[in-house]
Amino acid sequence: MSLLEVKGLKKYYATQKAVDDISFAIEPGTIFGLLGPNGAGKTTLLRMITGIFYPDEGQIIFDGKKFDPENDVVHIGYMPEERGLYKKMKIGEQALYLARLKGLGKEDALEKIKQWFVKFEMQSWWNKKVEDLSKGMGQKLQFVTTVLHEPKLIILDEPFSGLDPVNSNLIKEEIYQLAKRGCTIIFSTHRMEQVEEICDQIILVNKGQKILDGTVNGVKQQYKDNLFHIGLQQVPQTIQSNYFEVIKQENNVLEVKIKEGATTNNVLQHFIQEGVGVTEFHEILPTLNDIFIKVVGNTPLARQFETVQQ
Amino acid sequence: MSKIWLIIKREYLTRVRNKTFILSTFLTPLLFAGIIAIVVFITVKNSDKEKIAVIDNSGVFKEKVDSSKSVRFVLNPSVDTSNYVAQGYTAVLYSPNNQINKTPRWQLYSKKNFGVMVKDKINDKINKETENDLLLSMYNINSKAIDSVRQLASTVKIDDIIMEEGSKLSKGNSGVAYAVGYGAAFLIYITLFIYGSMVMRGVMEEKTNRIAEVVVSSVKPYQLMMGKIIGIGAVGLTQFFMWIILISALSSAVGAFIPHDLLQQVNEANKSLPGGNIGMQGNEALIGLAKAQNELSSVNWWLVTGCFIFYFLFGYLFYAALFAAVGSAVNEDPQDAQSLMFPITMPIVLAIVIMINAITHPESALATWSSMVPFFSPIVMMARIPFGVPGTVPYWQLALSMLSLIGGFLFTTWLSAKIYRTAILMYGKKVTWKEMWKWAFRKN
């Protein structure tokens, strides 16, 4: 059973279809990447899932039941992209306040905060104010306050922005741990290499509509161009075949595109018959970055305003 | 409910623990007391300054010249206009006229320009001496008799008797009512601005910090807004109660020490001088103070304090919701806040203008009807109440005014909550009043 299921979600503003009929489902324990260019409607979508906005149309099913913001927000942790903390408040008190707003009791909250502070080596911060923290430190604190109440669903909007590699890894490790313990994580970002590394499942949103949905590998398979690298001991003078064409040659390595209807074995056979030794042979899968640019790139960069017929 | 309580507690505690709050709470009454003390001190100290030599050829001034504390007259000293400064006089008052021609042309020789007060004193003195002299010479009435008649006449006072229901009489005092009403109305005016803009800044801070986005994923925007408004309102009430306690403690301390000594001095001084109630300029202020203390008790303090707290609280709630809506609509640019705030600050300023008129005519149509309108009632009604309930303000007016204010508060809160909900998460776009209006009245 899915932890979160979204069916035909719509939210129209006066000048934009911010979210236009989006459906997807997330299984428990998955790390789910929500991708899309700026202004694609990601934030609106996330705000509907966190119960901040009501959808105009469509259904959100959370943990098997119809999503009820009043009670279900306790099971959701949301970390917005920009650091959202009270500058003048002491860090310990702030963490306690945000935890209690999520419905945790005082003792319970204190204990959990202490655990996390020890884990992230933040004990000495307790009486400091947020304005004394660097951006990365603030991001760490924000992460702690997001996951403190052990939500079933954690929504992270660009969680690594402003973090150095060490702290980045620390949080990445925590995300894996949380997923292993059964937390579901929605991860919204533009940074494709992070998505490839972390996410199990992705959807790509553009202009308020879902244009891609699947596992990282599945999506790559879907968008592959049948390109292969072939390393040869010696490159023959002329390569002529009905099964493939050479796109690029770099020293002894060829990049070939297999034609429609042909298989990889046809290619190998060709070289074997020619008596050329093959040193390597592997498929070139597109990176998510390539796919993103391919899918989104031909649409105008800035989203145009339009009149919405409601 | 427990969440809104958490928000209230945070808003309250972070502000009350703030150094500025503690300082302003304790220093404001001290500052007031200090200013009053300085004023009294200066008036007392400043007197007994001028020593004027009187060279009187006309013989109007009698042998014994009485003096007030601020101006001392010395008759026929051995000085002239060339050496009076060396002898310790500030001026020479000279009458060139002889016995026969007593028509007034006096000359005052001095090195400086005298203030109006001193000039008046000298003028009064000459007038009075001339009057006495004329009465003596024409009707043979001596000055002692005149003084005692004057003193008798000056004891005539007006007692305002306000007829209340059931023919119960109470002593009214429009002067005190005026002062109390004015003070209360201005206090509400100032606090509306202070705490209203505190709410606005708080909301702006939450928006620009993006903390609002985190918090509204745990609580409803309405709860966040109300929590802030109530929390800051509680801060305001705390400050008021602290002030009331401090001021009453201070004034009872002052009452225990100063008037006892000083008032006795004043009385003695008055007795020891002929024509007592003319002189002693500096101490007149003290006599006035003592009198005022008496008269202040003619105001129904329980009613005024009760109404003040009511009108402060609901006036604050009424406007705070609007300030919160404005704060939520502001982007990073504080300039926006100025222009968006204008429609809210205008009625508050207008209320003060109406109040200044209403306090002189507390029963006029303008005063009556504007004290029913929630935009003005906290200020205008507060100015009218000290004139007496139900004398000047009938019960039905008070009840209607209070009810309409409560209703107004519910309305502005409902309205602002709808604007707030949309605007708090809206970034990078300049919000206009037209848009806010649209948000306020759309369906969901």
Cβ A78–B6 below 8 Å, yes or no? Answer: no
The domain boundary residue, chosen from B150, B184, B211: B150
Domain chopping of chain A, boundaries: 4-215, 225-284
Please indicate, yes or no, if residue B158 is contained in any of the structural domains: no
Cβ A87–B14 below 8 Å, yes or no? Answer: no
Residue A76: its chain B contacts at CB < 8 A?
A: 217
SS3 A88: coil
Residue A144: its chain B contacts at CB < 8 A?
A: none
Say yes or no: A89 contacts chain B, CB-CB below 8 A: yes
Per the structure, the count of domains in chain B is 2
Say yes or no: A151 contacts chain B, CB-CB below 8 A: no
Residue of A nearest to B220 (CA): A52
Q: How many whole angstroms separate alpha carbon B213 and alpha carbon B424?
A: 8
- Which range, of A102-111, A169-178, A252-261, averages the lowest pLDDT? A252-261
DSSP letter at A286 equals: P
Is B248 in the same domain as B297? yes
How many A×B Cβ pairs under 8 Å? 58
Is B215 in the same domain as B358? yes
Tell me how close the Cα of A85 comes to any Cα of chain B, in angstroms: 5
Is B421 in the same domain as B276? yes
* Helix (H), strand (E) counts: chain A: 10, 14
Q: How many whole angstroms separate alpha carbon B78 and alpha carbon B55?
A: 9
Identify the CATH assignment for A225-284 out of 3.40.1010, 1.20.272, 3.30.479, 3.30.70.
Answer: 3.30.70
């406007």: which residue's tokens?
A: B319
List CB contacts of A253: < 8 A, sequence separation 6 or more: A229, A230, A231, A232, A280
Is B245 in the same domain as B308? yes
Is B9 in the same domain as B142? no
List A4's β-bridge partners, or say none. Answer: A26, A62
Is B75 in the same domain as B29? no
Tell me how close the Cα of A80 comes to any Cα of chain B, in angstroms: 7
Tell me what ipTM this predicted complex has.
0.77
Is B277 in the same domain as B313? yes
Per-residue pLDDT of chain B (444 residues; tens, 9 = 90+): 578 999 999 999 989 988 888 888 888 878 877 887 787 777 666 555 677 787 777 777 765 555 555 677 777 667 777 777 777 777 887 777 665 555 567 778 877 777 777 778 788 888 877 777 778 778 887 777 877 888 888 778 777 666 655 444 444 566 777 888 888 898 899 889 989 999 999 999 888 888 888 888 888 888 999 999 999 999 999 988 888 888 788 777 766 665 555 555 555 555 544 444 444 444 555 566 656 566 666 667 788 888 998 999 999 999 999 999 988 888 777 777 888 888 889 999 999 999 988 888 888 888 889 989 999 999 999 888 888 777 778 888 999 999 999 999 999 999 998 888 888 887 766 777 777 887 777 765
What pLDDT, in 10s, does the model give residues A146-168?
A: 998 889 999 998 888 878 888 88
SS3 A203: strand
Nearest CA-CA partner of B201 in B318, B322, B327: B327
Tell me how close the Cα of B206 comes to any Cα of chain A, in angstroms: 7
- Find the chain B residues whose C-beta atoms sit closer than 8 A to any C-beta of A: 3, 6-7, 10, 14, 205-206, 209-219, 221, 425, 444
Please indicate, yes or no, if residue B82 is contained in any of the structural domains: yes
Cβ B213–A52 below 8 Å, yes or no? Answer: yes
What is the domain extent for residue B289?
Answer: 2-39+174-441
Cβ A101–B211 below 8 Å, yes or no? Answer: no
Say yes or no: A91 contacts chain B, CB-CB below 8 A: no
Cβ B210–A82 below 8 Å, yes or no? Answer: yes
Instruction: Dihedral sign for Cα A264, A269, A272, A273, please.
Output: negative
Please, are residues B411 and B212 in contact by the beta-carbon 8 Å criterion? no
- Rounded to a whole number of angstroms, the CA Rg of chain A reads 24
Question: Does the domain at residues A4-215 carry the CATH identifier 3.40.50.2000?
Answer: no
Please indicate, yes or no, if residue B160 is contained in any of the structural domains: no
Q: Which of B213, B332, B422, B435 to mutate to test the interface with A (most CBs of A within 10 A)?
A: B213
- Nearest beta carbon to residue A83 from set B210, B219, B425: B210
Cβ A73–B425 below 8 Å, yes or no? Answer: no
Amino acid letter, residue B164: E
Could you give the angle at which helices B433-441 and B395-423 cross, rounded to 10 degrees? 100
Cβ A84–B6 below 8 Å, yes or no? Answer: no
Is B31 in the same domain as B113? no
Is B35 in the same domain as B63? no
Is B65 in the same domain as B185? no
Is B405 in the same domain as B272? yes
Q: How many whole angstroms separate alpha carbon B282 and alpha carbon B284?
A: 5
Is B220 in the same domain as B298? yes
Residue B211: its chain A contacts at CB < 8 A?
A: 84-86
Angle at B328 between CA B235 and CA B4, to 5 degrees: 45
- Nearest beta carbon to residue A52 from set B14, B211, B217: B217
Please, are residues B38 and B14 in contact by the beta-carbon 8 Å criterion? no
Please indicate, yes or no, if residue B407 is contained in any of the structural domains: yes
